[in-house]
Structure 1
Amino acid sequence: MPAHDLPLLIDAARMAGRVATSFTGPTAQRWDKADDAGPVTEADLAVNAQLLSTLRLARPDYGWLSEETEDNADRLSQDRVFIVDPIDGTRSFVEGSNTWAHSIAVAEHGVITAAVVYLPLRNKLYAAAKGGGATCNGVPIVASEKAQLETSSVLVAKPAMQGDHWKTNICPDFKRSFRPSLAYRLALVGEGRFEAMLTLRKSWEWDIAAGALIVAEAGGIALDRTGASLRFNNPDPRLNGVVAGGTPACAALIDALA
């Protein structure tokens, strides 16, 4: 029940913000994960523990998939699953930036039904429930309908602009911008501040789940790099890239990809 879950996610996200901001990013204890999987801090783990306790206590029959919890197959047999990134943009958190986010979603039979992306240092809380629209700080948001890539702003990392990713061996001529957090990129697209975002590498579900619903409920679309629908709570929780945005820009980007 999306409407039933959303208030729980909003409350949990605000609590997560209080936990995370009790640490000072640059001085928080930090170490690198195995297999070059990036940094993690004591704040990531504290937020993960808080969310695990709060959400599983409220919904003990829901499964759990989080960047900071060792995965197991139990979630695959459960109808509904929490998909969580305690801090999306840990490097930004460590640097003292304000662009990191908490990303929290519920998937039901592979479809995201409720979602929150919260940036406590920017006081921005994006939320969506399936069929209920998307909001930022309670105000409805709408994805851009601009159709021309040449006049569009796209959130993308530089490696995705290399020629070999595109049919013509040349990246389309759009205005490039960047934010470290994938969840925040998706939320900004849902807000209509950018026409689209894309990432062409394998992407963890916890980075994408919440933002994908926010884009969709704002009137946009979120697909993988081939144009296929996104499904969540997969045995391998990685997606084949993501292209999201207003429908015209998103369709144009997918058409241009090799």
Structure 2
Amino acid sequence: MPETDLALLTAAARQAGDIAMRYFRRNPAVTDKPGGAGPVTEADLAVDHMLSETLCDARQDYGWLSEETEDTRHRITTQRQFVVDPIDGTREFIEGGKDWSHALAIVENGQVTAAAVFLPARELMFAATLDGGATLNGAPIGASAAQLDGATVLGAKPNFEGRFWRDGITPPVKRVFRSSLAYRLCLVAQGRFDAMITLRPSWEWDIAAGALIAAEAGARVTDQHGAILRFNNHDPKVPGVLAAGPDLHSNLAELLEPRPANP
């Protein structure tokens, strides 16, 4: 059994990659979740099953929150929790793109303490521990120190509509997109892009692992109103996310409407 939580997460993430790659680009069975919650593949479910067994067997006192497991609320009574997205970017996975990931985090008292985000199709392992820094494939990484003008910001197109920004004016940035929210946060941590933003309630399993990795790489990571992110909520969502180097984060936060309209 891995001795540390981070070793446990990274080993499990690699196991998840082994499973997912057996289905990747091989027409996995796909079904639609109820209520328009998006697609799920047989790969998502196989990875979820393995992660649940492996992680919960290793840490039997930890709670469990996963996109593909019914939330029993038992996790609320536990001191520590696994927060897992078996495949973040399922549509990308179905389409045969490479920008999907396995996002695994451990939360204690509302704060992420260990995280791994693995992209098996790209052989990228992002990892971090609280106050321990962030790494990519074992090497330290750091967020950029970019200023506002010309910054590259990861986000879906609706986030850049004028209604979300003061006076209806979007900031002078270059918008780019990647499917996985966890990967977007890691790309900010790596310094490949300068910021990421999502202005809609986001599931904890999409955000928790990448949030720690970005923060440990020197980015400031908050909700869309600038508040610290807290996890293991009764309703497992956070109110949007903004991640960037401290100066750029402040610039973007100042330009956002104080209370953005619902997307």
1:253 maps to 2:227: no
* Post-superposition offset of 1:26: 5.3
Cα-Cα RMSD: 0.9
Distance 1:161 1:6 in 2: 35
- Report the AA paired with residue 240 of structure 1: P
Q: Which runs of 4+ in 1 moved over 2 A?
A: none
Deviations 1:142-190 (A, max 9, x none): 01112x2112110011100110100120110101110010000000000
Specify the alignment match of 2:163 in structure 1.
Answer: 164
Specify the alignment match of 1:228 in structure 2.
Answer: 227
* Post-superposition offset of 1:4: 2.0
Deviations 1:69-99 (A, max 9, x none): 0002100010000000000000000001110
SS of the aligned residue for 1:213 comes to helix
SS of the aligned residue for 2:22 comes to coil
TM-score, normalised via structure 2 length = 0.95
Distance 1:118 1:221 in 2: 22
Specify the alignment match of 1:87 in structure 2.
Answer: 87
1:142 maps to 2:142: yes
User: Is the 1:82–1:107 Cα contact (8 Å) retained in structure 2?
Assistant: yes
**Uncovered stretches (5+) of structure 1, i.e. residues with no partner:** none
* Post-superposition offset of 1:7: 0.4
1:199 maps to 2:198: yes
Q: 5 Å matches for 1:112-127?
A: 112-127=112-127
Matched residue count: 255
Report percent identity of matched pairs.
55
User: Is the 1:117–1:210 Cα contact (8 Å) retained in structure 2?
Assistant: yes
Specify the alignment match of 2:52 in structure 1.
Answer: 52
Distance 1:247 1:144 in 2: 9
User: Is the 1:12–1:54 Cα contact (8 Å) retained in structure 2?
Assistant: yes
Distance 1:242 1:25 in 2: 31
SS of the aligned residue for 1:240 comes to strand
